[in-house]
Structure 1
Amino acid sequence: MSNYEARLSELGVTLPDAPAPAANYVPSVIVGDIVYISGQVSQGPDGLITGKIGADLSVEDGVAAARRCAISLLTQVKAACGGDLDRLVRVVKLTGFVNSTPDFTDQPKVINGASDFLVEALGDAGKHARSAVSAGALPFNVAVEIEGIFQIKS
């Protein structure tokens, strides 16, 4: 078990197997020591987390959905690193998309669910640059989708 996975275990998190892409794209691309992870949609053990923040779901629901996206991002990083999560050097940047009503303005609070989790799980390596934007709709009506850029050991 990697050092990062040991910390995740302390937090009660086990990384699932990385799912295959749902269309004509790859889950990750490595360029040098940077890995780009395709957008990960909010999905929990019981399936997709769906709904529009500000109408169907609360900010707290959105925070939980963003946390699930962060877990999926780490799952994809682990897969991109051949199963060795300790190759992760740091989270560079996240771009978070929030399925929200036109008058909803707390997208940063929602994406904090991912940011806070990554810092809790990875320490300083989890600190990152970030964007948090509203989306009128997301695939499968998911609540949140987050893509990430990560630095890894070559």
Structure 2
Amino acid sequence: MTDNIEKALEAKGITLPTPAAPVASYVPAVEINGLLHISGQVSMSDGQLITGRLGDNLSLEQGQQAAKACALMIAAQIKKAAGSLDRVDRIVKLGVFVSSTPEYTDHPKVANGCSDMMEVIFGAAGQHARSAVGVAALPLGVAVEVDAIVALKPE
């Protein structure tokens, strides 16, 4: 199978991270009936967690960068599980969790960091349904966590 998407990412200067290992009792991805379910991927860049809370010590732009980092990790997990990003038929749904203060309301704008990167990576197939919610805390103190449902093309 060709890796056209990965070549396009290289041309854009985008490098996928090494897929993160689970930090608890779960697996990173489960494929069933043509759908790949990706476990929540936390905000991490260059091997370092992106921590903090929106509405407190992180700006909207920092939140969007954290969400973008989650998108790149999701893509890395897809590649590992499916063998190639070219197997993606459609990003079906993203669940975006944003660590935020109770008064913070820009969760959808933070989530756009992930959503926009999915379109950069997968083009029209990266357009998806989504939920974006604020939470009091996330694992390891991260700013953003995103899970995904991905439709795959048959092998």
Into which bin does the TM-score normalised by the smaller protein fall? over 0.9
Q: Which runs of 4+ in 1 moved over 4 A?
A: none
What is the deviation of 1:18?
1.4
CA contact (8 A) 1:11 1:121 kept: no
Query: Equivalents in 2 of 1:16, 1:65: separation in Å?
Result: 14
Query: Equivalents in 2 of 1:151, 1:145: separation in Å?
Result: 20
Q: 5 Å matches for 1:5-154?
A: 5-81=6-82, 83-154=83-154
Q: Tell me, what secondary structure is at the counterpart of 1:150?
A: strand
Amino acid in structure 2 at the alignment position of 1:24: S
Amino acid in structure 2 at the alignment position of 1:84: S
Per-residue deviation, residues 66-110 of structure 1 (Å, max 9, x unmatched)? 0000000000011111x3221111100000000001000000000
Amino acid in structure 1 at the alignment position of 2:60: V
Query: Equivalents in 2 of 1:16, 1:152: separation in Å?
Result: 21
Provide the alpha-carbon RMSD of the alignment.
Answer: 1.1
CA contact (8 A) 2:17 2:46 kept: no
Report the TM-score when normalising by structure 2. Answer: 0.95
Query: Equivalents in 2 of 1:122, 1:113: separation in Å?
Result: 14
5+ unaligned residues in a row in structure 1: which ranges? none
Per-residue deviation, residues 30-54 of structure 1 (Å, max 9, x unmatched)? 0111000000000000500000011
Q: Tell me, what secondary structure is at the counterpart of 1:75?
A: helix
What is the deviation of 1:120?
1.8
What is the deviation of 1:118?
0.8
5+ unaligned residues in a row in structure 2: which ranges? none
